[in-house]
């Protein structure tokens, strides 16, 4: 079971809203740092371990700087994410660049920063060589296809657009070795938001066995493996958090059974978790604007799926606390909705709550990853502010809310006046 508490009181939230109107996302720095330290303590037992925070989860330089202080690197998948990593002082092999359908300028920037480039397709080898030159170290993303089943969010590997097939992997390593590449890595990512520890241990076994086969067949020693991310979080109160210690111990057992047994130690171990690092420590705070009673009872908020897309996109559950009514009986059933002109703009459907009134403040849990990051401007909606709750209980704005001027910033409205 996971306890769904908020790290602030109703009075603290009311005080915040006097300066920062709802909706906004707020992150708990102290809890985030504690979790990051626990993560590294657990997985730091693995040889040469390095965590590359998946920037796409929470692409905010303040968050990235906090994690840099905790010795995390950055897993980037686009040019702006590379720029964010650069802005917070990350360079070289502190950055892993894993992209797909990659344009030339992104490879060029990754090479400029000295990032580890993780190629998604065998055709990218000659493309990278042509546009930016092959680096000394290269990594390939492996897609096991029918050998693994994936899960709901990431999909069936056989249907996924990502990665090399097994045959392409061997061909790619052989080609790059001939072209002068000196150091090699191997990456995979087959599950997302997974709570079953055995899935991560199975992934490690699959990759370790592949490392042995590559050495035997090609004579190439893999320097590091990146097991991807995918560690889930308990969005629902009845779910249990993944034990970092249990996953790390299971990976260590497979390492000893396969890598040490075949005299391939040391093999560096990397991961690229995002959701597990920041997800539980972010909250979307929203105010109830309207109560609607038709065929169902609706709670209308000042936030919408532009602030949190996951419930509409995946049917995902996010726990919701009604501030000041945490211990009141849940004897009402509501849909909690936003104002987007889409009927799936709902944070909760047919869920039990205490009686909700106009003006109540709702806190939507577990929005610290893939929350604000997945925001958009459809329907003229503006993205909200991001706040940081500091360890001393002060609040810092780490991204301001968008304004109509931001919405129109890429348009020449003066030119419109003359347009016929």
Contact yes or no for 187/228 (Cβ under 8 A): yes
| Fold matches, 29-279 and 280-407 | no
pLDDT of residue 161: 76
At residue 156, the pLDDT reads 62
CA atoms in the 13 A half-sphere facing the CB of 388: 20
Instruction: Provide the pLDDT for residue 141.
Output: 97
The phi, psi pair for 62, rounded to 5°, reads: -65, -45
Alpha helices in 219-265 (DSSP H): 244-254
pLDDT by 10s per residue, the chain, length 420: 778 999 999 999 999 999 999 999 999 999 999 999 999 999 999 999 999 999 999 999 999 999 999 999 999 999 999 999 999 999 999 999 999 999 999 999 999 999 999 999 999 999 999 999 999 999 999 999 866 555 555 556 666 678 999 999 999 999 999 999 999 999 999 889 999 999 999 999 999 999 999 999 999 999 999 999 999 999 999 999 999 999 999 999 999 999 999 999 999 999 999 999 999 999 999 999 999 999 999 999 999 999 999 999 999 999 999 999 999 999 999 999 999 999 999 999 999 999 999 999 999 999 999 999 999 999 999 999 999 999 999 999 999 999 999 999 999 999 999 998
Nearest C-alpha neighbor of 215 from the set 246, 177, 168, 163: 177
Query: Cis link prior to 281 (omega < 30° from 0)?
Result: no
E strand or H helix at 30: helix 29-43
Q: CA nearest 56: which of 192, 201, 195, 224? A: 192
User: Where do the domains of the chain lie?
Assistant: 29-279, 280-407
b/e burial code for range 266-295 (CB count within 10 A of at least 16 → b): ebebbbbbbbbbbbbbbbbbbbbeeeeeee
Tell me what pLDDT residue 2 has. 79
Nearest to 228 by CA among 181, 160, 167: 160
Residues 6+ apart with CB under 8 A from 326: none
pLDDT of the residue at 162: 86
C-alpha 355: how far from its chain's center? 34
pLDDT the model gives residue 121: 96
**DSSP structure string for 106-154:** HHHHHHHHTPEEEESSTTHHHHHHHHT---SEEEEEE--GGG---BTTT
What is the model's pLDDT at position 149?
Answer: 55
Phi, psi for 95 (deg, rounded to 5): -120, 130
Which of 358, 363, 327, 326 shows the shortest CA–CA distance to 347?
363
Q: What is the pLDDT of residue 420?
A: 84
User: What whole-number distance in Å separates Cα of residue 399 and Cα of residue 407?
Assistant: 16
Q: What does the pLDDT read at residue 145? A: 83
State residue 162 phi and psi, 5-degree precision.
-90, 145
Q: Is the peptide bond before 23 cis (omega within 30 degrees of 0)?
A: yes
Q: Which residue has the tokens 């693995």?
A: 46
N-to-C CA span, the chain: 62
Query: What phi, psi does 335 have (nearest 5°)?
Result: -100, 130
Q: How many CB atoms lie within 10 A of CB 65?
A: 15
The domain over range 29-279 is classified in CATH as 3.20.20.450: no
Task: Find the Cα–Cα–Cα–Cα dihedral 118, 121, 124, 126, rounded to 10°.
Answer: 120
What CATH number should be reported for the domain whose range is 280-407?
Answer: 2.40.37.10
pLDDT for 95: 98
Q: From CA 281, how far away is CA 39, in angstroms rounded?
A: 14
Residues 199, 243: Cα–Cα separation, whole Å: 13
Per-residue confidence (pLDDT) for residue 291, from 0 to 100: 98
DSSP string, 146-189: GG---BTTTB-GGG-S-SB-HHHHHHHHHHHHHTT--EEEEEE-
Buried b (16+ CB within 10 A) or exposed e, 111-149: bebebbbbbbbbebbeebbebbebbebbbbbbbbeeebe
C-beta atoms surrounding 223 within 10 Å = 17
Q: Which residue in 400, 324, 368, 307 sits closest to 8, CA to CA?
A: 324
* DSSP class per residue in 301-354: ES--TTT--HHHHH-----EEETT-TTS---EEEEEE-SSSSTT-EEEEEEEES
Please count the residues of the chain: 420
């Amino acid at each position: 079971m996971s306890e769904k508490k908020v790290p602030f009181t109703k009075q603290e939230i009311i005080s915040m809203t006097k300066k920062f109107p709802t909706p906004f996302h707020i992150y708990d720095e102290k809890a985030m740092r504690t979790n990051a330290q626990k993560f590294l303590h657990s997985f730091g037992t693995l040889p040469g371990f390095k965590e590359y925070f998946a920037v796409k989860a929470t692409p905010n330089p303040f968050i990235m700087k906090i994690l840099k202080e905790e010795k995390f690197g950055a897993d980037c998948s686009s040019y702006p994410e590379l720029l964010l990593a650069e802005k917070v002082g990350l360079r070289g092999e502190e950055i892993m660049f894993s992209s797909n359908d990659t344009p030339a300028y992104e490879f060029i920037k990754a090479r400029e920063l000295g990032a580890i480039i993780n190629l998604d397709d065998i055709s990218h080898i000659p493309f990278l060589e042509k546009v930016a030159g092959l680096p000394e170290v290269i990594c390939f993303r492996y897609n096991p296809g029918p050998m693994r089943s994936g899960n709901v969010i990431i999909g069936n590997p056989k249907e996924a657009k990502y990665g090399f097939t097994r045959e392409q992997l061997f061909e790619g390593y052989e080609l790059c070795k001939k072209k002068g590449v000196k150091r090699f890595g191997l990456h995979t990512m087959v599950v997302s938001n997974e709570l079953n520890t055995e899935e991560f241990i199975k992934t490690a076994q699959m990759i370790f066995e592949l490392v042995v086969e590559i050495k035997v067949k090609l004579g190439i020693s893999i320097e590091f493996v990146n097991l991807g991310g995918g560690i889930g979080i308990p969005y629902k109160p009845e779910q249990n958090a993944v034990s970092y210690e249990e996953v790390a111990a299971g990976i260590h057992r497979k390492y000893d059974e396969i890598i040490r047994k075949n005299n391939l130690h040391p093999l560096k171990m990397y991961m690229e978790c995002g959701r597990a690092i920041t997800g539980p420590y972010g909250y979307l705070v929203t105010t109830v604007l309207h109560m609607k009673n038709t065929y169902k009872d609706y709670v209308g908020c000042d936030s919408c799926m532009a602030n949190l897309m996951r419930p509409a996109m995946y049917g995902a559950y996010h726990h919701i606390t009604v501030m000041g009514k945490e211990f009141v009986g849940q004897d009402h059933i509501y849909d909690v909705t936003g104002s987007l002109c889409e009927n799936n703009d709902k944070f909760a459907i047919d869920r039990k709550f205490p009686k909700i009134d106009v003006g109540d403040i709702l806190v939507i849990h577990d929005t610290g990853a893939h929350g604000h990051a997945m925001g958009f401007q459809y329907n003229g909606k503006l993205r909200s502010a991001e706040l940081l709750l500091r360890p001393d209980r002060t609040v810092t704005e780490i991204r301001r809310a968008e304004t109509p001027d931001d919405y129109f910033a890429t348009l020449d409205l003066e030119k419109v006046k003359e347009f016929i």
